[in-house]
Structure 1
Amino acid sequence: MAQVLKKIGFHANGKPRAWLKSLVFDDQLAPRRVFQPWVWPHAGDIHPAFRAWLRLALQNPAPSSSNDWPLRRQHIVDQKSLGAAGTLRIVCTRPTTFVAHALQTHASALGFAVHIDHEMPEDFPEDLYLVICPQMFSRLPPREKRIVFQMEQSVHPRWFTPEYLNILYNSVAVFDYSAQNIQFLIQQGIPADMIFHVPLSPVAHYPGAEFVSALTESESERTCDVLFYGDLKNKRRQAFLKVLSDHFDVRAERSLYGQDLWRAMAHAKVVVNIHYYENALLESTRICECLSLGARVISEAATDQGQHADWEDLVLFTPINDAQAMVQAIHQCLQQTPAAAPSLTDRAFRLGPSMEAAFRSLNLLVHR
């Protein structure tokens, strides 16, 4: 019975449904008088049912005439307060570990002592925090020392809830991998001067590449033709994979991370990238990780095709919605002698320069 009531009142992520939220709280998220003893039974405490959601909501208030955060943020930047930051902690979800490693590589080169966590720490003693996919965490670092990396695709704006936009708004800076996303965020009211384009790219010395190169010959034997990894609860991807499975030995994985993913990639002759949405942006996280591991990648073309000029030539693209074209591309790839892994050290990728430009705009490098 309790589970049924919970489903009626709350979303799966713990956020109260609209009817419950408006019933219990006013527009400023203060509990209405009749519910106050229930929501705040003790001073400074919050009922467990609302605790994670309400703390996050209060920490990231909606833009309003009484919200002085834009002025406080500008003061932090103008006073060059961030320039003394020496330690940077990157907090990420497991699926975005590659992004964390890419950011760590370049931040370390700029002189920061960088560490990566998959869990949000209890306290926030570091000088600066860079949170990838901040909407996935129930607690966040103080906004005065928080940069967020936005990774949703604006082609489907349903992910950009008011709560998520408030988290972006209440940060020192927002990094985004897509110019198309940035225009969308500006339209949603995120100030343009706090958004920075930090496009993703392969990493020349990715830890996964070292792991793969250390595998024995039997451990790295190519045991399947095609590997796909990602969310499989998607009819579009399922239809594509069914066509591919009629022609090849296909391995489809939903939840592979770290060494398990690297080992699976070593066993595959080709990795395919199939969009979740028909009009999707290119899944640059997946593709750049594959390229960093020396994998051969075949991908559907995307709506932002041509915006990744520094590495798109390393990928074989097929038309959107054309599974048969992907079949032909895989056949062509399998008939070729396996090419050596691309020499990434000789390529001029954009993540380093673009991240350094963002840090300079935030006066993060003034004491270096």
Structure 2
Amino acid sequence: MKRYIAERAHRFGFHSDGKPRGWLRRLLINRQKRRLRSVGRLIALDAEGSVRPAFAPWLATQAVLIGQRLPGREETRYAARIRAVAASGRLGAVRSVGIVSTPHTRFVAGTIATALAGTRLACRLYDAPPEAEHDLYIVLCPQMFDRLPPLERTILFQMEQVRASQWVTPAYLSTLAAGLAVLDYSLDNIAALIEHGLPLKQLYHVPIEPPAMPATPPPPGGQTIDVLFYGASNDRRRRYFEALRSHVELRVVTEVFGDDLYRLLRSAKVVVNVHYYEGALLETTRLSEALSFGARVVSEQGVDQADQGAFEDRVDFVPTGDIDAFVARTLAVLAQENRPDKAEPPRPVAETVRGSRFGVLRALHGVGALTLDELDAASAGIALPSDRVVLAFPEHIARFRFAETNRLAGAAVFPCLRHIDGWKGCAESYKFIARRALGAGTTRLTVYEDDAAFAPGTADRLAAVERYLDGLGGAWDVFSGLLSDLRPDFAVSHVEERDGERFIHVDTVIGAVFAIYNASALGLLAAFEFEGEDPARHTIDRYLERRGLRCITTAVPVAGHAAALDSTLWPATNERLETMIEASLRRLEAKAAAFKRAAAPGTADTFG
């Protein structure tokens, strides 16, 4: 009977092709505004903004019409699968990790093991999927193995060049999709995997970067190999080899791994890196491995060179395809290495939040295998990159590129922490950086998000803001560059003109697109705890809103949202959020004007 009623109800609302009948479409959509009505959102979307199954066949084709960023079917399914795993408590109970790698990728496996050394997770390395039982597995290059551990307990590290490799087949992509999570060293690969249909929520960027310092000194007999290449050979590479052999003694080795390879790397003065493919990504594993043994490296540039800043000062790069320039650079570097007074090895480089170790820990936290406290403890030696931090998701490629291109002077990117519920990952990111800032003795921290847009002249305006804050003697908590959703009952306590800016003091803060946090506010962020599961009430900015903070803003916002970008937290474009922001700014302007009218000359300020 229940099934009969459900079928009749569905036929009443939908045609046989899944399209809602006219009366339901009129109820759902405001055609003039080309948006879902409020009631339409309640009917067609669930509390997290995902499309309800009954509406998915039709609504998925209407994203542009209704101004919504709608999760795809794969993303929705993956989110449901991970929530079920989290609810089981299995990941929080992980104690043992099996790391499976081919001989080619043992260096990366070692990097992962080093990252785990500071956690409660005991790991063991394998050259093939083990018979031994582990709570969690990390498998590098899964396509190389005939069998894999249970995929529901396996994180897969994808190391192929997705746009070029013959290994990237439908079967391989299906294997990746079945994994607990997918790690990738390349942002370009992540973009390609999303194009192939993998859900963004499943993907984690884990860069392979050079070590802080060479791992071992040269052998007792010194470096006896002038120039070394290791890896597979093809016609493209052989053209480089022939040109190099006309000038230097080149040693080419293939299918050499482990200790045998490491002996060669210790003995090599120069290691050369030549692409296997035209238009290749940078082979960061080979570069990092060679650098870890103290070799100088000459390499072709990769198509993703803009993402490889960590190598710029450690590797001699040559334009791709220019064999003559490659030979010339190799000869010059070899001559430097043969000089009696050759340069000292590079000094240790501090680890950063953009490095491999933090990338591994961030992914394990994102899937739920590490708590925030455990992530904090395991990465204790990694400092914030600056007292101006840009919160950005590397996996959200468009937003990440925008953040990199539009960084303010002195600002550095912090890769946001991840959670299957985006608003929780956002909150934990703020808590993490506040803890790290306070631990370093920072008393003022600027944080802005990756879709913050700045008008020309922002640097001068921020200098005026900093001067104003300096003059307050610490009697403030937060400066907000954009109060995006002020509640109607907020109060203005002071309005002041200074350096061409109108500074407005209010009793609340909402929105986090751009803010400067005093030590008092950093303390509140560091103490944040989730008080519930309602994203309308329990986000980090709603938490601050309820604390009655002494907030200062400017009549003209310092920052705005980049309208062309989608929100990473909510199922709406930034363009749609502008309506909410405009209403908030009108409330601010009206209350500031009312305060000025009510403040007679000589009236004492209420801001303290």
Retained in 1: the 8 A contact 2:266–2:294?
Answer: no
Query: Which amino acid in 2 is paired with 1:299?
Result: S
Retained in 2: the 8 A contact 1:80–1:363?
Answer: no
Retained in 2: the 8 A contact 1:270–1:296?
Answer: yes
For residue 345 of structure 1, report the CA deviation from its aligned partner.
4.8
Query: Which amino acid in 1 is paired with 2:100?
Result: V
TM-score after normalising by structure 1 = 0.75
Query: Which amino acid in 2 is paired with 1:229?
Result: Y
Could you report, residue by residue, the CA deviation over 1:40-71 in whole angstroms, capped at 9, with x for unpaired residues? xxxxxxxxxxxxxxxxxxxxxxxx99x97763
Retained in 2: the 8 A contact 1:73–1:144?
Answer: no
For residue 358 of structure 1, report the CA deviation from its aligned partner.
1.5
Query: Which amino acid in 2 is paired with 1:129?
Result: Y
Structure 2 vs 1, CA of residues 355 and 296 (structure 1 numbering), >3 Å: closer, same or farther?
Answer: same
Q: How does 1:248-263 map to 2 (within 5 A)?
A: 248-263=248-263
Retained in 1: the 8 A contact 2:225–2:269?
Answer: yes
Task: Tell me the equivalent position of 1:58.
Answer: none
Where 2:321 maps in the other structure, the secondary structure is coil
Structure 2 vs 1, CA of residues 101 and 352 (structure 1 numbering), >3 Å: closer, same or farther?
Answer: same
Q: Give distance in 2, aligned partners of 1:114 and 1:202.
A: 22
Where 2:310 maps in the other structure, the secondary structure is coil
Task: Tell me the equivalent position of 2:230.
Answer: 229
Task: Tell me the equivalent position of 2:323.
Answer: 323
For residue 103 of structure 1, report the CA deviation from its aligned partner.
0.8
TM-score after normalising by structure 2 = 0.46
Q: Give distance in 1, aligned partners of 2:84 and 2:91.
A: 11
Residue 97 in 1 paired to residue 101 in 2?
no
Q: How does 1:224-303 map to 2 (within 5 A)?
A: 224-232=225-233, 234-303=234-303
Task: Tell me the equivalent position of 2:141.
Answer: 133
Which sits farther off after the overlay, 135-144 or 234-243? 135-144
Q: How does 1:21-100 map to 2 (within 5 A)?
A: 71-100=80-109
Could you report, residue by residue, the CA deviation over 1:66-116 in whole angstroms, capped at 9, with x for unpaired residues? x97763333113555312111111000000000001111112223321111
Structure 2 vs 1, CA of residues 157 and 296 (structure 1 numbering), >3 Å: closer, same or farther?
Answer: closer
Q: Give distance in 1, aligned partners of 2:343 and 2:260.
A: 23
Q: Give distance in 1, aligned partners of 2:238 and 2:275.
A: 11
For residue 159 of structure 1, report the CA deviation from its aligned partner.
2.3
Task: Tell me the equivalent position of 2:62.
Answer: none
Q: 1:150 aligns with which of 146, 152, 158?
A: 158
Where 1:131 maps in the other structure, the secondary structure is strand
Task: Tell me the equivalent position of 2:497.
Answer: none
Query: Which amino acid in 2 is paired with 1:192?
Result: L
Task: Tell me the equivalent position of 2:173.
Answer: 165
For residue 343 of structure 1, report the CA deviation from its aligned partner.
2.9
Q: Give distance in 1, aligned partners of 2:326 and 2:272.
A: 9
Q: Give distance in 2, aligned partners of 1:256 and 1:199.
A: 24
Where 1:317 maps in the other structure, the secondary structure is strand
Structure 2 vs 1, CA of residues 154 and 344 (structure 1 numbering), >3 Å: closer, same or farther?
Answer: farther
Query: Which amino acid in 2 is paired with 1:340?
Result: E
**Percent identity of paired positions between Structure 1 and Structure 2:** 39
Task: Tell me the equivalent position of 1:187.
Answer: 195
Q: Give distance in 1, aligned partners of 2:110 and 2:213.
A: 10
Retained in 2: the 8 A contact 1:292–1:344?
Answer: no
Task: Tell me the equivalent position of 1:342.
Answer: 346
Q: Give distance in 2, aligned partners of 1:68 and 1:196.
A: 18
Task: Tell me the equivalent position of 1:110.
Answer: 119
Retained in 2: the 8 A contact 1:306–1:312?
Answer: no
Structure 2 vs 1, CA of residues 72 and 101 (structure 1 numbering), >3 Å: closer, same or farther?
Answer: same
Retained in 2: the 8 A contact 1:310–1:347?
Answer: no
Retained in 2: the 8 A contact 1:295–1:341?
Answer: no
Structure 1 unaligned regions, length at least 5? 1-63
Retained in 2: the 8 A contact 1:80–1:364?
Answer: no
Retained in 2: the 8 A contact 1:155–1:280?
Answer: no
Higher relative contact order (CA 8 A, sep 6+): 1
Instruction: Please say which structure displays the higher CA radius of gyration.
Output: 2
CA-based RMSD: 2.3
User: Number of matched residues?
Assistant: 296
Q: Give distance in 1, aligned partners of 2:165 and 2:257.
A: 27
Task: Tell me the equivalent position of 1:305.
Answer: 305
Query: Which amino acid in 2 is paired with 1:361?
Result: G
Where 1:346 maps in the other structure, the secondary structure is coil
Query: Which amino acid in 2 is paired with 1:100?
Result: A
Retained in 2: the 8 A contact 1:298–1:316?
Answer: yes
Q: How does 1:352-367 map to 2 (within 5 A)?
A: 352-366=357-371
Where 1:202 maps in the other structure, the secondary structure is coil
Query: Which amino acid in 2 is paired with 1:226?
Result: V
For residue 141 of structure 1, report the CA deviation from its aligned partner.
0.9
Task: Tell me the equivalent position of 1:174.
Answer: 182
Query: Which amino acid in 2 is paired with 1:359?
Result: L
Which sits farther off after the overlay, 81-90 or 171-180? 81-90
Query: Which amino acid in 2 is paired with 1:231?
Result: A
Task: Tell me the equivalent position of 2:523.
Answer: none
Q: Give distance in 2, aligned partners of 1:198 and 1:68.
A: 24
Query: Which amino acid in 1 is paired with 2:239?
Result: A
Could you report, residue by residue, the CA deviation over 1:274-303 in whole angstroms, capped at 9, with x for unpaired residues? 000120000000000011111100000110
